[in-house]
Amino acid sequence: MASQQASAATRLALVEPPPCVLPAGPSKLDRLRQLRAVIDSLRSERESRDPLIAWILEREKEEAS
């Protein structure tokens, strides 16, 4: 029984996390700040007039007249 536990402990000691797993640290926080800045800039950006919506609104005005 003790040898099975030692064997299992040895196998678990050899297990390493995959290289794609990044530690949660400053880089994650920096990425979140960058994303927030992008979202804020998109919110404040003035949207240009959509040509399709403009065409629909003009058609509705013409039909209402």
Residue 26, pLDDT score: 72
What's the chain's Rg over C-alpha atoms? 29
Handedness of CA 27, 30, 32, 38 (dihedral sign): negative
Residue 62, pLDDT score: 92
Domain boundaries, the chain: 18-45
Spatial separation of the C-alpha atoms in residues 65 and 54, rounded to whole Å: 17
Dig out the tokens for 59 from the structure: 């058609």
3-52 tens-digit pLDDT: 666 666 666 666 665 666 656 667 888 899 999 998 888 877 766 677 88
Spatial separation of the C-alpha atoms in residues 20 and 43, rounded to whole Å: 32
The answer to whether the predicted template modeling score (pTM) of the entire model surpasses 0.85 is no
What are the start-end ranges of the H helices in 1-65? 2-14, 26-44, 51-64
